[in-house]
Chains A and B, each alone.
Chain A
Amino acid sequence: MAGKTLYDKIWDLHQVDTSADGAGLLYIDRHLVHEVTSPQAFEGLEIAQRTLWRKRSILAVPDHNVPTTGLEAGITDPVARLQVDTLNDNCDKYALTEFKMGDVRQGVVHVIGPEQGATLPGMTVVCGDSHTSTHGAFAALAFGIGTSEVEHVMATQCLIQKKSKNMRVTVAGEVAEGITAKDIVLHIIGEIGTAGGTGCTIEFAGEAITGLSMEGRMTVCNMTIEAGARAGLIACDQTTLDYIAGRPFAPSGEMWDQAVAFWGDLHSDDDAIFDREVVIDAADIAPQVTWGTSPEMVCSINQRIPDPADEVDTIKAGGMRAALDYMGLKANTSFDQIHVDKVFIGSCTNSRIEDLRAAAGVVKGRKLAANIKLALVVPGSGLVKQQAELEGLDRIFVDAGFEWREPGCSMCLGMNADRLDPGERCASTSNRNFEGRQGTGGRTHLVSPAMAAAAAVQGHFVDVRELMRGEL
Chain B
Amino acid sequence: MNKFENFTGIVAAFDRSNIDTDAIIPKQYLKSIKRSGFGINLFDDWRYLDPGEPGQDNSQRRLNPEFLLNREPYNAAQILLARENFACGSSREHAVWALMDFGFKVVIAPSFADIFYNNSFKNGLLPIALDEEVVDLLFTELQGQPDYRLSVDLQGQVVSNAGGVEFPFEIDEFRKYCLLNGLDDIGLTMQKSEQIKSFEQQYYQKLPWLQ
Contact = CB atoms under 8 A, between A and B. Distances in A.
Interface of A: 16-17, 19-21, 23, 25, 27, 29, 36-37, 39-40, 43, 48, 50, 53, 64-65, 77, 79-80, 82-83, 86, 120, 122-123, 128-130, 132, 143-149, 151-152, 155-158, 160, 162, 164, 194-195, 198-199, 228-230, 251, 255-256, 258-259, 262, 294, 315-316, 318-319, 322, 413-415, 422, 432, 434-437, 440
Interface in B64-115: 83-85, 88-93, 96, 111-115
B129 to A, nearest CB: 10
A40 B33 contact: yes
9 contacts: A29-B210, A36-B31, A37-B92, A50-B190, A130-B115, A152-B185, A164-B114, A262-B207, A316-B17
Contacts of B199: 16, 27
Contacts of B123: 148
Interface stretch (B4-12, B18-26, B145-153, B156-164): B18-26
Given A37-B91, A294-B18, A432-B89, A17 B111 contact: no
A146 B27 contact: no
A17 B197 CA distance: 12
Interface in B110-132: 111-115, 118-119, 122-123
B28 interface: yes
Contacts of A228: 85, 88, 113-114
B118 A195 contact: no
A160 B185 contact: yes
A258 B114 contact: no
Interface of B: 15-18, 20, 22-23, 26-28, 30-35, 45, 51, 54-55, 83-85, 88-93, 96, 111-115, 118-119, 122-123, 172-174, 184-187, 189-190, 192-193, 195-196, 199-200, 203, 207-210
A151 B172 CA distance: 22
B128 to A, nearest CB: 16
A255 B83 CA distance: 51
B209 A259 contact: yes
A434 B51 contact: no
A296 to B, nearest CB: 8
Contact of B91 (A79, A128, A158, A413): A128
Contacts of B111: 195, 198
Given A16-B195, A160-B174, A415-B31, A251 B186 contact: no
A130 B91 CA distance: 5
Contacts of B200: 27, 157
A27 B192 CA distance: 12
B172 A23 contact: yes
Contacts of A77: 31
List the 8 closest pairs (A to B, CB-CB), nearest first: A148-B122, A146-B119, A251-B209, A146-B93, A39-B33, A144-B91, A195-B85, A255-B209
Given A82-B33, A147-B35, A318-B15, 11 more contacts: A21-B173, A25-B192, A48-B187, A80-B31, A130-B115, A147-B119, A155-B186, A229-B114, A230-B115, A315-B83, A437-B27
A350 to B, nearest CB: 18
A315 B91 CA distance: 26
Given A146-B118, A194-B88, A37 B93 contact: yes
Given A83-B31, A259-B209, A319-B16, A436 B174 contact: no
Contacts of A17: 192, 195
Contacts of B118: 145-146, 149
Contacts of A27: 196, 199-200, 203
B31 A65 contact: yes
A438 B91 CA distance: 17
Contacts of B187: 48
Of the candidates B31, B89, B115, B119, the one having the most CB atoms from chain A within 10 angstroms of its own CB is B31
A435 B22 contact: yes
A316 B16 CA distance: 9
Given A17-B195, A228-B113, A319-B17, A435 B207 contact: no
